[in-house]
Amino acid sequence: MSRRNKLEALLAPLVADMGYEFVGIEYSSNPKNRLIRLFIDRADDGIGLEDCERVSLEVSALLDVEDPISGQYTLEVSSPGIERPLFVGEHFARFAGETARVTMQVPIDGRRNFKGRIVSADDEHVVIDVDGEHYTLIVADIQRAHLAPDLDVLLAEDKR
């Protein structure tokens, strides 16, 4: 089990018990600058600074007790934001029809980077439409993914 998966197994139940959605976790293992970035959300009100502080305190206490990472690290707790990270098939399915950027661990048809509309998703696969061509991506092979909203459209909607 990877360090990221171990951290997720440890922290997801705590975050859920606190009444938040555990969106996902990013872990950078650079020995000089280890980073745990935890994304949380809440359907009713969204996430504010106080929520991040509250979760950070509880997560820090648990990490101190369990000590899953030797040495120093930085903990960041954040809302998913407008460019929400996508970690599992369920996230992709939830945002079907939206645009996403996906980076694969290994190339598919000679490319690792995809930006397109999410067509469908399940636990194992994501279908993404890139300029009219459909690509089926294996969720386990995704290195990083996030929503990629058209900011010009969003700004225009805000001005209305």
**CA 29 to CA 144: how far, in whole Å?**
16
Q: Are residues 104 and 74 in the same domain?
A: no
Which structural domain range is residue 101 located in?
A: 89-154
Find the CATH number of the domain harbouring 132: 2.30.30.180
User: Does 147 have pLDDT greater than 90?
Assistant: yes
Q: What is the pLDDT of residue 105?
A: 96
74 and 93 in a common domain: no
How does pLDDT run across 33-83, given as a tens digit for each residue? 889 999 999 988 889 999 999 999 999 999 999 988 888 899 999 999 999
pTM of the model: 0.85
94, 128: one domain? yes
**Which helix (H) or strand (E) segment is 27 a member of?**
strand 21-28
Residues 21-35: tens digit of each pLDDT: 999 999 988 878 889
How far does Cα 92 stand from its chain's mean position? 11
Q: Are residues 48 and 7 in the same domain?
A: yes
